[in-house]
Structures are given as C-alpha cells and as structure tokens.
Amino acid sequence: MGILSNTLREKILQYLPRYPSKQAVTLPALHLVQDELRCVPRAAIREIADLLDLSPAEVHDAMTFYQFFREEEQPLGKTRLWVCRSLACALRGGEQLLGRLCQKLKVKPGETTADGKITLEFAECLGACEGAPAVMIDDEHRMNVSPEKVNELIQELGA
C-alpha cells in the first residue's frame, strides 16, 4: 500500500464525476492530502498523479504555484494560524499583532512552534476587514484580535 490510505484515495476519486477532466481534481486532492498528512509528500504527489492520469511534474507544478501546500520537509503543525498583513488590518495594528505572535511563539512566519502545535503564517487580505486586525485559525476567521488578546489566543490553541 502506498502513502495514501484507501479512504483517502476514495475521497479523491469521489471528485472525478464533477469535472470533465481528471486534472481538475488536482486542487481538491492536494487539500485532502495536506489536511490529513500535514504536507504533500513526494510519494503522495506520485499517487495523486497516478489517480488523475497526470505526470507527477504536472501535480508538482500546480502544487508549488499555490504557496499554500507544504513539501514534506516543512510539514504543518496541528493548527495553522494566519495573521492578515494587508491594508485594512495593517491600519489597525495587524503588523504589530504578527510581530507579537512571532515573539511569543518564538517563530518566524512560516515556522512551527517547537511543540508542533501552531504554525504561524502571514496572510494577505482575509476578507474580514470589518473586524481588523483579523486572524484565521485553519479556515475560520477570528476578528478583532487586539494585541492584548494574544496570550488568550495562544492558550486556546494549546501552546
């Protein structure tokens, strides 16, 4: 058996009837794999390519365009915490928020805490501007995260 479980392979194959081309399942497949394995290992790239009748290079090409996906050398931690750095948030302390989180978690953006619990990332506009400064925990917005709320947030995420 390869790196993708049967369940995961089934989940990927379920997307095929939606599109007239198998290649269109690339993004859904990459998401499914990364959600489970916390990265997209090269073996997984080969297996996705196999399922979708693509070359591994084609899958890798799409994957690396979206900086969202991680190679196996830099897997994600348990929770991915994105901090918005675009204009509406920057105008209301977003950059300072990111700086403070880097300092408290002792990581640079893109890195994971030593205990593997939190991967800190900067994000471009999250679309939560009425609640600036905003963060995103995995794929859910959290608004109005003032610098005072940083400790509370870190505790909540289990670090």
Partner 1 sequence: MPDFEPVLLRRIGKPECQTLAGYRADGGYRTLTKALNEMDATKVAALVKDSGLRGRGGAGFPTGLKWTFLPKDHPGPIYLCVNADESEPCTFNNRILMEEDPHQVLEGIILASYATRASTAYIYLRYEYGKAFRTMQKAIDELYANNLLGKNILGKEFHLDVYLHRGAGAYICGEETGLIESLEGKRGWPRIKPPFPAVEGAFRKPTVVNNIETLACVTHIIDRGIDWFKSIGIPPDSKNPRDAGSYGPKLYCISGHVNKPCCVELPLGLTVRELVDKYGGGVWNGRKAKGCIPGGISMGIMTEKEFDTPLDFNGPGKVGCLGLGTAAVSVFDEETSIVDVLGNICRFFAHESCGQCTPCREGTGWMNKIVQRMQAGKGRMEDLKVLDEVAKNIGIMPGTTICGLADGAGWPVKNAIQKFRGELEEYIQKGQKSANLALVGAH
Residues lying near partner 1 in the complex (CB under 8 A): 18-21, 23-28, 30-31, 52, 58, 61-62, 65-69, 82, 85-88, 90-92, 95-96, 98-99, 108-109, 122-132, 136, 138-141
Least distance in Å: CB of 108 to partner 1?
7
Least distance in Å: CB of 85 to partner 1?
7
Least distance in Å: CB of 86 to partner 1?
4
Least distance in Å: CB of 129 to partner 1?
4
Q: Find, among 66, 65, 46, 64, the residue nearest to 56 by Cα.
A: 46
Least distance in Å: CB of 109 to partner 1?
5
Residue 118 DSSP symbol: E
Region for residue 111 given its phi and psi (left: phi exceeds 0; alpha: psi -120 to 50; beta: otherwise):
beta
Q: How much of the chain is helix, strand and coil, in % rounded to 5?
A: 50, 10, 40
1/112 with CB nearer partner 1: 112
CA distance 121 to 102: 9
CB distance 150 to 97 below 8 Å: yes
23/74 with CB nearer partner 1: 23
129/154 with CB nearer partner 1: 129
Three-state secondary-structure class, residue 93: coil
Q: Find, among 84, 89, 94, 81, the residue nearest to 137 by Cα.
A: 81
5/21 with CB nearer partner 1: 21
1/68 with CB nearer partner 1: 68
